């Protein structure tokens, strides 16, 4: 029994050794293969680097040879110039000597018969001169051939290469010069265009702001104006503070102007004024009560408007929050175009196009109505309105195709259904009709909204209203958190932040209002 156990242990030991051997061998082979692959990769890198270095060296040698050739050529040209000059001098001296010789020959002819001897000497000298000239030409040719041999370029090729180099350098300089001129002209053109646009805004900004941000409240007689203003202006101040609307009471007969970039606030102020005039009791406490009731009534009307438009378009099953957003579209504008009217047009057009293409008409109309709900929020969002609207539609359980159509109607995301391009086309058709949109009002209202947001960002601020077409900012603070000294400091801080963050024409007046009330109820 013990022998069997010993044999079993021995066999297990041998098997373990054999297994470890094969396992170790495989591991070594894998490592060897990995090392071979790494060596191959490094060898390839070395070969590539060597090839690159060889090419760079070759280019350097070619450039050096060209430079050497140009240097030798310039020296050779100088030598030729000086030799030609010497030849010209020799020719001039030879001519002088010839004239002297001719005179001497004539003299000797007259004196004796040595003409033939002199002529023979003259011909010898002339031949010597010709031989020297031929030697000079041969020497010049040898030097040119030597230079061509050194540089591996013929004289014609070298000339052409030199001309090409000069042309390329000239082209590069000309292109750079032209580019600088074009950039300078574009910069100048942009500056001039901005100046023209600013001048146009200054000329027509006030007129368009009044057209889009002012409502007229008609009254029966001018006696009502005094009651609305109240003693020392307390009624009109209370009304402006409660509604955030600038109320302008001037010499215009039987009318009061309500100025505010937010249409909902203007409507609340108009209805509140109407109720106060009918009631006859106009004082700060009654004003606050009427404004609060009017705000509640407007909220109810917003829901009714949303439901009515859904019934008109044959759309059902919409979340209550989306119904409120549809109703609020009545009091919003997009580039001067009423947002609800625009959304209804897009809904009708989307339904017609979907019907012609044989698609789901109800789905298209629903997407068209909801495509701009991202423009509804009171607070400013960093997201584009299409993406924000898509997120809200997803939150309130809308169809995936509708969410995609909302998010992609300005190409912020990819279109995945046929409903998406239909909504985009319908939006373009509705917004591109001549005279339907006024782009400048959108930037104007955004600037006023930014003013209010800056004030609200400070701690202790309760409400903020931008009035007087953005020339005044009224800030209502919490009296328990802001005292009189802090109120003054807050106005300075708000003014400084406006200067740093907003670009505006003229000046902006910042008014911080702190009010303390003591209220008790007798029972």
99, 101, 102, 108: CA torsion to nearest 10? 150
- Pair type for strands 472-477 and 509-514: parallel
266, 271, 272, 277: CA torsion to nearest 10? 130
Q: How far apart are CA 207 and CA 100, in angstroms?
A: 105
At 122, is the secondary structure helix, strand, or coil?
helix
Q: Which residues pair with 337 in a beta bridge?
A: 334
> Residue 484 CB: number of other CB atoms within 10 A?
10
Provide the pLDDT for residue 197: 43
What tens-digit pLDDT sequence spans the chain (523 residues)?
A: 546 666 776 777 777 677 666 666 667 677 767 777 887 788 788 888 888 887 888 888 788 877 877 888 777 778 788 877 888 888 888 888 878 877 776 665 565 555 555 566 667 777 788 888 888 777 877 776 776 667 666 667 767 776 777 777 776 666 666 667 766 776 776 676 556 445 444 443 433 344 455 667 777 766 777 777 777 777 778 778 887 777 777 766 777 777 777 777 777 888 888 788 777 777 778 888 888 888 888 888 888 888 888 888 888 888 888 888 888 888 777 666 778 888 888 888 888 888 888 888 889 899 888 888 888 776 666 788 888 889 888 888 888 988 998 988 888 888 888 888 888 888 887 776 544 555 445 666 777 888 888 888 898 888 888 877 677 888 988 888 888 878 888 888 888 888 888 877 667 888 888 887 777 778 6
Q: Which residue has the tokens 């947001």?
A: 453
Q: Write the CATH number of the domain with boundaries 219-297.
A: 3.30.1370.10
Q: How far apart are CA 513 and CA 523, in angstroms?
A: 32
* Burial tier of 258 (Cβ tally within 10 Å: 0-12, 13-18, 19+): buried
Provide the pLDDT for residue 381: 67
Provide the pLDDT for residue 20: 63
At 218, is the secondary structure helix, strand, or coil?
strand
Sequential DSSP letters for 363-424: HHHHHHHHTTGGG--SS--SS-HHHHHHHHHHHTT--HHHHHHHHHTTTSS---SSHHHHHH
Fold that domain 443-514 belongs to in CATH: GMP Synthetase; Chain A, domain 3 (3.30.300)
HSE toward the beta carbon, residue 51, CA cutoff 13 A: 5
Buried b (16+ CB within 10 A) or exposed e, 142-177: ebeeebbeebebeeeebeeeeeeeeeeeeeeeeeee
**Domain covering 319-437: architecture:** Orthogonal Bundle (1.10)
Nearest residue to 246 (alpha-carbon basis) of 509, 466, 512: 466
Q: How far apart are CA 449 and CA 187, in angstroms?
A: 32
């Amino acid at each position: 029994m013990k022998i069997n156990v010993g044999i079993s242990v021995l066999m297990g030991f041998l098997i373990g050794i054999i297994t470890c051997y094969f396992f170790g061998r495989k591991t070594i082979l894998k490592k060897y293969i990995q090392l071979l692959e790494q060596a191959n990769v490094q060898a390839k890198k070395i070969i590539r680097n060597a090839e690159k270095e060889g090419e760079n060296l070759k280019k350097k040698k070619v450039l050096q040879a060209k430079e050497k050739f140009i240097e030798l050529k310039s020296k050779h040209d100088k030598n030729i110039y000086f030799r030609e000059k010497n030849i010209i001098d020799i020719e001039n001296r030879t001519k002088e000597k010839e004239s002297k010789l001719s005179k001497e020959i004539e003299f000797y002819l007259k004196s004796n018969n040595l003409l033939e001897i002199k002529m023979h000497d003259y011909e010898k000298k002339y031949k010597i001169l010709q031989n020297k000239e031929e030697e000079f030409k041969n020497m010049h040719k040898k030097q040119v051939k030597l230079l061509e041999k050194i540089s591996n370029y013929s004289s014609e090729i070298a000339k052409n290469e030199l001309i090409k180099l000069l042309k390329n350098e000239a082209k590069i300089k000309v292109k750079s010069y032209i580019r600088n001129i074009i950039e300078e002209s574009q910069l100048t053109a942009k500056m001039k265009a901005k100046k023209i646009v600013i001048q146009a805004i200054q000329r027509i900004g006030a007129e368009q702001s009044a057209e889009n941000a002012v409502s007229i409240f008609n009254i029966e007689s001018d006696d009502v104006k005094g009651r609305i203003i109240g003693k020392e202006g307390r009624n009109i101040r209370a009304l402006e503070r409660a509604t955030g609307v600038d109320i302008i009471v001037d010499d215009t007969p039987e009318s009061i102007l309500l100025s505010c970039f937010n249409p909902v606030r203007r409507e609340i102020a108009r209805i509140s004024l109407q109720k106060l005039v009918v009631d006859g009791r106009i004082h700060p406490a009654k004003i606050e009560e009427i404004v609060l009731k009017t705000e509640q009534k407007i909220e109810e009307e917003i829901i009714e408007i949303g439901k009515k438009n859904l019934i008109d378009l044959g759309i059902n099953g919409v979340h209550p929050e989306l119904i409120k957003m549809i109703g609020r579209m009545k009091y919003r504008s997009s580039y001067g175009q009423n947002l609800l009217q625009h959304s209804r047009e897009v809904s009708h057009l989307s339904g017609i196009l979907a019907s012609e293409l044989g698609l789901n008409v109800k789905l298209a109309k629903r997407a068209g109505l909801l495509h701009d709900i991202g423009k509804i929020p009171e607070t400013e969002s960093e997201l584009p309105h299409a993406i924000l609207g898509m997120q809200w539609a997803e939150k309130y359980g809308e169809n995936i195709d509708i969410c995609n159509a909302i998010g992609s109607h300005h190409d912020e995301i990819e279109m995945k259904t046929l409903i998406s391009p239909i909504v985009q086309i319908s939006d373009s058709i509705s917004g591109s009709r001549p005279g339907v949109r006024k782009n400048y009002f959108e930037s104007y209202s955004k600037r006023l909204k930014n003013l209010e947001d800056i004030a609200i960002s400070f701690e202790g601020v309760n409400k903020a209203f931008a009035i007087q077409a953005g020339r005044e900012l009224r800030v209502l603070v919490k009296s328990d958190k802001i005292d009189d000294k802090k109120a003054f400091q807050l106005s300075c801080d708000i003014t400084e932040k406006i200067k740093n963050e907003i670009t505006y024409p003229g000046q902006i007046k910042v008014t911080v209002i702190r009010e303390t009330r003591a209220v008790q109820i007798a029972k």
